[in-house]
Structure 1
Amino acid sequence: MSNNLSPLRIVQIIRYVTPLREGGSLPAIVEADDDFFYVIKFRGAGQGIKALIAELICGEIARSLGFRVPEIVFAQLDVAFGRSEPDEEIQDLLRASEGLNLGLHYLSGAITFDSLVTTVDAKLASQVVWLDCLITNVDRTARNTNMLIWHKELWLIDHGAALYFHHSGQNWEEQSQRPFTPIKDHVLLPRASELETVDTEFRAILNPELIQNIVALIPAEWLTGEEGESAEETRQMYAQFLNNRIAHSEIFVQAAQHARKALI
């Protein structure tokens, strides 16, 4: 598999369509100048730019591993865009989000994944569980699966809450080698019986060069001012965190296996 990644497209937001109020960050469906619709994650939302960074890194890791993920784009929001918005909360959000935001192609007609309706085979379940252990994704529970069924296929969305180490201010090196205990609540964990096989396969794909190419996609303007470090130093922190977790994946694989045994 090639480690080369295509650069993300940049689109211009031309119309705010509707807010998505399921979460606290007020993402929205917008229309862009390429005539497509996108779900936009705003830099001015409560979770801040770090949620956009997690969305970008984790979405592209998932895509590199063969998962179906909506196309991720950079979405430019002009200074004057929010002036005509009548909702004051949304207007404040738009004004705080001027510049480069993140968008995911809107999957029109997709339905939320429900494990009681759709059965996922053991291999795919194991792949999703392994990914979420790697990226420390807390948002794949039965209550909030962050998976969609679109054209009868499973799509992964919404990784903004992953990589939560970057919010804590604690030692990232130590956190990179910790098991992922929230995996016990993962909606697909009961079916994830092939974690060891997936671990071998995915470790072979996620080599340091690929991880480096993924973190290189993060715009410098999202990284400057991070605790006095340069944009490149912050990129390398993300790369080293991920490479450490991949190198010590047996830690989170074993923890997931133990959590699964407690469920079945």
Structure 2
Amino acid sequence: MGVDTSTIRTVRVTRYVTPLREGGSLPALAEADDGFLYALKFRGAGQGSKALIAELLGGEIARALGFRVPEIVFAQLDEAFGRTEPDEEIQDLLQASTGLNLALHYLSGAITFDPVVTTLDPALASRIVWLDCLLTNVDRTAKNTNMLMWHKELWLIDHGASLYFHHTWDNSHEQAVRSFTQVNNHVLLPWASQLREADAELRPKLTASVIQRIVQLVPDEWLANHDVQSPEEAREVYRRFITMRAAASENFVNEAQDARKRVI
């Protein structure tokens, strides 16, 4: 079965502008052939294509559930692109990332969400906590909120640390129904007083057809090194994991509610 990329545009990277922040993943601000700037995530960095898969699946699931997420695009990086880059580390990264990468539309002027400055509605806070429990997203903490305020609206970014089961690829069925103990570090947990309501609202939206459509977006070349027989088999593991996790949402909702009682 071919990959349906009808909802994801492909752009060609034309200019590396600047690194966005220090760290293992080394994302960059880059310009593409459509004239827009993007936060570019490289397949040659950190956790490689698995981080891109988590970013794609996590971001598009969030979008399907009604959250604001910058447009996600596939970003084609030509082999010759890194040859003129003077920084040796960046040149190595670019050369290791030839081919299809992933990028998010750059929200120029956006500021990092600060819970001290901006108070979120409990319903929205609860929905975001629910989402991150579903995705097993360990990276929405006070230290690194991975949320932006842009034109007075909240946007979610950086889901590359989600779906961490795929780094070992073992016991995916068991991991799918586990609670999410890392929720106790979630930056929004103290405000997430409506987790049951969030569960009742969001779980029905994550239908089998929605999950299938999103999983089919993952390109074959990102799945080539998975410990399974084929890209289609790998997609099926992701589809089953997300489906089972949503069906067992009571487990992570209970864990989140218990964790919230301990922090307030």
Q: Same fold by TM (over 0.5)?
A: yes
SS of residue paired to 1:143: coil
Are 1:82 and 2:82 matched, yes or no?
yes
SS of residue paired to 2:16: strand
Q: Which runs of 5+ in 2 are unaligned?
A: none
CA distance 1:143–1:225, shift in 2 (3 Å)? closer
Q: Deviations over 1:99-148 (max 9, x none)?
A: 00000000000000000000001000000000000000000000000000
Distance (Å, rounded) in 1 between the aligned partners of 2:150 and 2:125: 17
Residue 30 of structure 2 is matched in structure 1 by 30
Residue 194 of structure 2 is matched in structure 1 by 194
CA shift, 1:52, in A, is: 0.1
Asked if structure 2 preserves the Cα contact closer than 8 Å seen for 1:44 and 1:96, the reply is yes
Are 1:223 and 2:210 matched, yes or no?
no
CA shift, 1:6, in A, is: 4.8
Q: Which runs of 5+ in 1 are unaligned?
A: none
Distance (Å, rounded) in 2 between the aligned partners of 1:91 and 1:247: 44
Asked if structure 2 preserves the Cα contact closer than 8 Å seen for 1:5 and 1:214, the reply is no
CA shift, 1:45, in A, is: 0.3
Q: Which moved more, 1:248-257 or 1:160-169?
A: 160-169
Are 1:47 and 2:51 matched, yes or no?
no
Letter in 2 for 1:204: P
Asked if structure 2 preserves the Cα contact closer than 8 Å seen for 1:5 and 1:213, the reply is no
CA shift, 1:180, in A, is: 0.3
Moved over 6 A (4+): none
Residue 260 of structure 1 is matched in structure 2 by 260
| 1:239-250 matches, cutoff 5 A | 239-250=239-250
Residue 73 of structure 2 is matched in structure 1 by 73
Q: Deviations over 1:62-121 (max 9, x none)?
A: 001111000000000001000000000000000000000000000000000000000001
TM-score (norm 1): 0.97
| 1:142-221 matches, cutoff 5 A | 142-221=142-221
- What is the Cα-based RMSD across aligned positions, in Å? 1.2
Asked if structure 1 preserves the Cα contact closer than 8 Å seen for 2:27 and 2:39, the reply is yes
Residue 20 of structure 2 is matched in structure 1 by 20
Distance (Å, rounded) in 2 between the aligned partners of 1:115 and 1:6: 36
CA shift, 1:5, in A, is: 8.7
How many residues were matched structurally? 261
Asked if structure 1 preserves the Cα contact closer than 8 Å seen for 2:228 and 2:234, the reply is no
Residue 134 of structure 1 is matched in structure 2 by 134
Residue 117 of structure 1 is matched in structure 2 by 117
Distance (Å, rounded) in 1 between the aligned partners of 2:190 and 2:52: 30
CA shift, 1:229, in A, is: 1.7
CA shift, 1:225, in A, is: 3.3
Residue 106 of structure 1 is matched in structure 2 by 106
Q: Which moved more, 1:119-128 or 1:162-171?
A: 162-171
CA shift, 1:7, in A, is: 1.9
CA shift, 1:22, in A, is: 3.4
Distance (Å, rounded) in 1 between the aligned partners of 2:227 and 2:130: 31
Distance (Å, rounded) in 2 between the aligned partners of 1:225 and 1:255: 34
